[in-house]
Structure 1
């Protein structure tokens, strides 16, 4: 997975927060965070049209201008086409506040993928993408409509992504989803390079390791584990709680976090370091994508990523997760 001259780094800069997820942040904060990440060795930057309805891509594009294109590994996503809302200046939608004045339309067709990709290039100010993910395909997002959307992807979307890869406009292709099962199914219809799996390769949700990690390794398909904090609770802990899968954490999840925290305390390992490093123990996992909307968060995430964790800790943890 190296089409740009820069290899993907094991820790990646996730940009949902850059698109004002849950709260607004300033462009200045974004620029400082990305500059700090690059200075400290992070070369992988991920974004999507969905994040702030194009806001994250626009903000990242400006910040990336100060970096050499061959020195970064950049991924974005397709599957939503943005349409301008002439009656709005800023919009609040899908957990994003003060986002750009665009409505999102799911479109996994050939034409939809091509339009989404070209729009992303313009917002980012680049001429190629190192990794292109089809975003949020699957039953978790679309429920009863998923059959229609998945067929749309089979009929044209997957082909569009493959063509972009063949043309050299995209280095690698895959899916970016919250459910690994749809990746397993999609492998029947196209040759993918990598899957980004969010919230489903964590200390709290890891049935992906039952067989799918082995399947990926056997087929030379890489994984990027996103949202290792399960939307927040593994960053804040059982006392401060936080979101779990973009919603309030249910009691059984809180109980599980308490059990994990006990093992962490026994081995003097921080909960956050365990959350970040867990998926990286699998050879097929090439990177962990983490939200970083401030300089402070960048520095803290890198410290947790670098924290030494003894093997005995992981053995003890297996008994409670």
Structure 2
């Protein structure tokens, strides 16, 4: 599998990355054995970039990912996790707030973007992953989409405290690169004047349906040698299942307007003999600033489909048609 280099750190990421939310039981339950099989199959097919977070299954994803990677070579692997949530054991009888995760670990999530909170989260992640360091550390889910009216206060704490902790970990060599892991690229832009991040992982907003990020921000990143990792290229499912499937859009039900736009994409794909999921996965990789596309991978069939989509030939004429129709911009 082809690789791309994170400019500042020299980390080498495979163009297709393993998104580990699924092995944390996102939307459906899986087993430890199935999670290990998924990681192993991805490895056997050349994937070397793996991304997790404490949020995924309340620590379950990190624990399973660490266990699955334990006996695989670490010298050419890139591992990322996230900070911003601290996990605490549930009290007896305390209800689980599962955030869409099924049969997750018995912990509650507390947002904490302070210096101490980031350090606590980082150390706990190392324990669950079974490693002494991680390659890439991302601050998870700052932004208005997550925090609403509390965003301004959260943003200040994150930059004054959490960012300082992350920069310290980088200077100590305990992580090689730092950045954000968010669902809105605009909050990445807001940090540029205050931080020295190496990269941004953006989910659901570098897609065929949602790509305003390319209208100036990718150029800003290029100018500052800040790289982008594009996660969730299917926009939570609709670009994988198509307009006739049950796929969601941005964690919710797809609107009539979104379905119409998907149908237009499907018609263009049919004309050029391109599968919609393949176009969704390959679209972000048209940009030099994008170093990897992170896709959810839980079961054998899903992993193989993702790899097939990554490898599917797509003619330049297809992309030009999307540009001409102003579905995407020129790269």
- Normalising by structure 2, what TM-score? 0.94
CA contact (8 A) 2:200 2:228 kept: yes
Q: Which runs of 5+ in 2 are unaligned?
A: 1-5
Alignment of 1:141-290 (within 5 A): 141-290=146-295
Tell me the distance in 1 between the aligned counterparts of 2:94 and 2:282: 41
Q: What displacement does 1:128 show?
A: 0.9
Greater Cα offset, 241-250 or 73-82: 241-250
Tell me the distance in 2 between the aligned counterparts of 1:122 and 1:104: 17
Q: 2:38 aligns with which of 33, 38, 49?
A: 33
- Normalising by structure 1, what TM-score? 0.97
Q: Check 1:59–1:91 CA distance in 2 against 1; reply closer, same or farther (3 A cut).
A: farther
CA contact (8 A) 2:144 2:151 kept: yes
Tell me the distance in 2 between the aligned counterparts of 1:4 and 1:55: 28
Q: For 1:66-116, what per-residue CA distance to the aligned partner results, in whole angstroms no more than 9, with x for missing partners?
A: 112212100000000001003269945111111111110101000000000
CA contact (8 A) 2:8 2:226 kept: no
Structure 2 counterpart SS, 1:75: strand
Q: For 1:140-195, what per-residue CA distance to the aligned partner results, in whole angstroms no more than 9, with x for missing partners?
A: 11010011111101211111000000000001000000000000011111111110
1:96 and 2:101 correspond: yes
CA contact (8 A) 1:6 1:72 kept: no
CA contact (8 A) 1:109 1:153 kept: yes
Q: For 1:216-251, what per-residue CA distance to the aligned partner results, in whole angstroms no more than 9, with x for missing partners?
A: 011000000000000000000000131110111111
Tell me the distance in 2 between the aligned counterparts of 1:76 and 1:103: 18
CA contact (8 A) 2:66 2:130 kept: yes
Q: What displacement does 1:58 show?
A: 0.4
Corresponding residue for 1:111? Answer: 116
Q: Check 1:276–1:67 CA distance in 2 against 1; reply closer, same or farther (3 A cut).
A: same
Q: What displacement does 1:295 show?
A: 1.7
1:126 and 2:164 correspond: no
Q: Which runs of 5+ in 1 are unaligned?
A: none
Corresponding residue for 1:76? Answer: 81
Structure 2 counterpart SS, 1:263: helix
CA contact (8 A) 1:77 1:135 kept: yes
Tell me the distance in 1 between the aligned counterparts of 2:203 and 2:161: 25
Structure 1 counterpart SS, 2:242: helix
Structure 2 counterpart SS, 1:224: strand
Tell me the distance in 1 between the aligned counterparts of 2:305 and 2:170: 35
Tell me the distance in 2 between the aligned counterparts of 1:256 and 1:63: 39
Greater Cα offset, 99-108 or 81-90: 81-90
Tell me the distance in 2 between the aligned counterparts of 1:147 and 1:57: 29
Q: Check 1:119–1:2 CA distance in 2 against 1; reply closer, same or farther (3 A cut).
A: farther
